[in-house]
Amino acid sequence: MKKIYQVIVIGAGHAGCEASLVCAKIGLKTLIITLNVDSIARMACNPAVGGIAKGQMVREIDAMGGEIGHITDCSGLQFKMLNSSKGPAVWSPRAQCDKELYSVLMSKSIQNQQNLDILQSEVIALVVKNKKICGVKILTGEIINTSIVIVTTGTFLRGTIHLGKASFDGGRFNEKQASYLSKSLTEDCGLILERFKTTTTARINSISADYSKMIESTGDETPDPFSHFTDVKKWRKNLRQLPCWITHTNVMTHKIVSDNLELSSIYIGEVGSKSPRYCPSIEEKIERYPQKISHRIFIEPEGYNTNEIYLNGLYTGLPFNIQQQMINSINGLENAKIIRYGYAIEYDYSNPLQIKNTLETKNIENLFLGGQINGTTGYEEAASQGFVAGVNACLKILKKDPLILRRDESYIGVLIDDITTKGVDEPYRMFTSRAECRLSIRNDNADLRLMSIGRSIGLISDVVFKKFELYKKTLVNIYKNNITDMPSNDELSPWSVEKAMEEINIYKKYEGYIEIQSKMTNKIKKNENKKIPKDFDYNKLESISTETKQRLSKVHPQTIGQASRIHAIKPSDIAILMIYIEKQKKIK
């Protein structure tokens, strides 16, 4: 195969799809290579998009012209604004999706995209000359030339599946692992690879669940789509939402788990391979919180045309017979029949300290990494990196300045800054608390923050951008109370006058706080060299997690700057620390 591509994307998961679409949309000759074309954008865990902080990232990708928001709108079966009882700064959209439909629609987008070819194969090595990428080698031995490679291999690199004490090779259940590429990444590219682990839950047959014993959890009455470009009225009219359900584990469930802990695959695998602390397995939850007699389980449908349901909160690596017993001990699931067992998977990732904030590797020119391979977890985190890697690959070829999103303008900026400056020592997922400017980087204003960037990259059309400009003008007029001569909703669509009013109301609510927030972040920057008293007792800090106190106490940083660079220490923690130091000084 001699054809020369400008970009080759390895992997068609959530990162690879965004990366390849961006490159092709911008006009570069792009090839996406994946192990299995039937599993493009497969949702290996919960088929849900968005959620706290993650929903904001989906809106950001969408505002810049990415795909995830649009596909979610077309495949969602329940939409909810999380945190809606709190302030708009933390409102986070979430959608439960039809898993098959999501994958089919993303495949179609890829197949229909001009400049984008798809190939089902395994990339076994990268071809590198003088520390620069020049091609990839596939399983058949052929070499395909290219200027840039974006690696988005998810959980597939030397993936090992564990179910109880049984272990076998696999990138996901029933999918083969990528056996060879790790060797090339280490030997040809000089990357150091480490191991992480994650788990998923069993799927059960819906008709075997007794919903009369559970609490119904319905979607929003007037749901909001993810994509800024979705025609809201039409979309709401056609949307058929399905209910989710809530039940709880109990003392019996916990006993079954505790009695069989040593059989769980959570505790086997390579020494030191860590799982996501924020998506713990039921084994880990019961071990960590022995005083808790019950944990909430969300029962969520996986599609319109399947009976399979997902048990959110019941991730496990227990042997299958114990999984069955555990599930049957739960209210409403006494007769539940398992269709697929839960399992744990262990895989290679590359510590993101080895990449720049453009997502290009420091060691090899034109090699970009995006998604789970960078030690993150989650579809949204993967899609965000895929999008940015794709954009930066294009900008590099076009000899333009790279896209570096700032922390104060996007969650995506926070994510990339965090992982590339602090690295990861456990799978990284996004939270609102990671963003010091969360009052201003809300889900409602992702378009105002980022659409011009999408436009400058070439991903937002003239027609849409003209309407967006009119929307911005309308916002200014409403803010200044100059509401004569308003445009019609037809002129503004997909934006509207009502949306503009709402936006201004939210802005006014936060105006003052945002000013304080920006003063605080400037103060943190200024206080980089500010000394922390030697004997400072971190246990005194209120509103800070025990884990943060432990991390700070262990390192005993000498300055604020040093404290802020400790892994998993958030800017909000630093703000609290500074207040305490000031307070202590005053008392003294």
Ligand X SMILES: Cc1cc2nc3c(=O)[nH]c(=O)nc-3n(C[C@H](O)[C@H](O)[C@H](O)COP(=O)(O)OP(=O)(O)OC[C@H]3O[C@@H](n4cnc5c(N)ncnc54)[C@H](O)[C@@H]3O)c2cc1C
Indicate the residue among 179 and 208 with the shorter CB distance to ligand X.
179
Q: Which DSSP string do the residues of 175-202 spell out, in sequence order? A: B--B-SHHHHHHHTT---EEEEEEEE--
Indicate the residue among 13 and 65 with the shorter CB distance to ligand X.
13
Count interface residues toward ligand X (CB under 6 A). Answer: 35
Which one among 30, 107, 155, 384 touches ligand X, defined by CB under 6 A?
155
Q: How many CA atoms lie within 13 A of 384 on its CB side?
A: 31
Scanning 303-311, 351-359, 369-377, 517-525 for contacts with ligand X by CB under 6 A, the matching segment is: 369-377
Which DSSP symbol is given to 407? T
Which DSSP symbol is given to 3? P
Q: Is 279 in the site for ligand X (CB under 6 A)?
A: yes
Which one among 260, 377, 445, 474 touches ligand X, defined by CB under 6 A?
377
Using the CB atoms, write b or e for 52-62: b if 16+ within 10 Å.
bbbbbbbbbbb
**Minimum distance from residue 547 beta carbon to ligand X (Å):** 19
**Minimum distance from residue 11 beta carbon to ligand X (Å):** 3
The interface mask with ligand X, positions 94-133, x = CB under 6 A, is ----------------------------xx----------
Q: Is 52 in the site for ligand X (CB under 6 A)?
A: no
**Minimum distance from residue 342 beta carbon to ligand X (Å):** 8
**Minimum distance from residue 201 beta carbon to ligand X (Å):** 9
Q: Which two tokens stand for residue 73?
A: 């709108």
Q: Is 430 in the site for ligand X (CB under 6 A)?
A: no
- Count of beta carbons in the 10 Å neighbourhood of residue 230: 19
Which one among 7, 68, 181, 391 touches ligand X, defined by CB under 6 A?
181
Distances (CA, A) of 458 to 103, 111, 391: 26, 20, 10
**Minimum distance from residue 368 beta carbon to ligand X (Å):** 13
Which one among 27, 36, 523, 568 touches ligand X, defined by CB under 6 A?
36
Q: Is 200 in the site for ligand X (CB under 6 A)?
A: yes
Query: CA 372: distance to chain centroid?
Result: 9
Q: Is 379 in the site for ligand X (CB under 6 A)?
A: yes
Which DSSP symbol is given to 533? P
The interface mask with ligand X, positions 555-574, x = CB under 6 A, is --------------------
Which amino acid belongs to residue 380?
E
What does the alpha-carbon distance between residue 441 and residue 444 come to, in Å, rounded to a whole number?
9
Q: Is 154 in the site for ligand X (CB under 6 A)?
A: yes
Which one among 209, 299, 382, 394 touches ligand X, defined by CB under 6 A?
382
Q: How many CA atoms lie within 13 A of 302 on its CB side?
A: 23
Q: Is 135 in the site for ligand X (CB under 6 A)?
A: no
The interface mask with ligand X, positions 312-351, x = CB under 6 A, is ---------------------------------x------
Q: What are residue 148's DSSP bridge partners?
A: 7
Q: Is 378 in the site for ligand X (CB under 6 A)?
A: yes
Scanning 316-324, 376-384, 460-468, 537-545 for contacts with ligand X by CB under 6 A, the matching segment is: 376-384
Nearest to 10 by CA among 198, 139, 163, 109: 139
Q: Which two tokens stand for residue 277?
A: 């602390």
Q: Is 15 in the site for ligand X (CB under 6 A)?
A: yes
Q: Is 35 in the site for ligand X (CB under 6 A)?
A: yes
What does the alpha-carbon distance between residue 150 and residue 154 come to, in Å, rounded to a whole number?
12
Q: How many CA atoms lie within 13 A of 321 on its CB side?
A: 4
Indicate the residue among 91 and 102 with the shorter CB distance to ligand X.
102
Indicate the residue among 63 and 157 with the shorter CB distance to ligand X.
157
Q: Is 178 in the site for ligand X (CB under 6 A)?
A: yes
Q: Where are the beta strands (DSSP E) in 435-522?
A: none
Which amino acid belongs to residue 10?
I
End-to-end Cα spacing for the chain: 74
Which one among 80, 172, 449, 455 touches ligand X, defined by CB under 6 A?
172
**Nearest 5°: CA angle at 100, between 99 and 104?**
120
Q: What is the CA radius of gyration of the chain?
A: 24
**Minimum distance from residue 27 beta carbon to ligand X (Å):** 23
Residue 130, classified by CB atoms within 10 Å of its CB into exposed (0-12), middle (13-18) or buried (19+), is exposed
Three-class SS state of 388: helix
Indicate the residue among 44 and 560 with the shorter CB distance to ligand X.
44
Relative to beta strand 215-217, strand 244-248 is antiparallel
Residues 233-262 that bind ligand X (CB under 6 A): none
Residue 482, classified by CB atoms within 10 Å of its CB into exposed (0-12), middle (13-18) or buried (19+), is exposed
Q: Which residues bind ligand X (CB under 6 A)?
A: 10-16, 33-36, 44-45, 122-123, 152-156, 172, 178, 181, 198-200, 279, 345, 371-372, 377-379, 382, 429
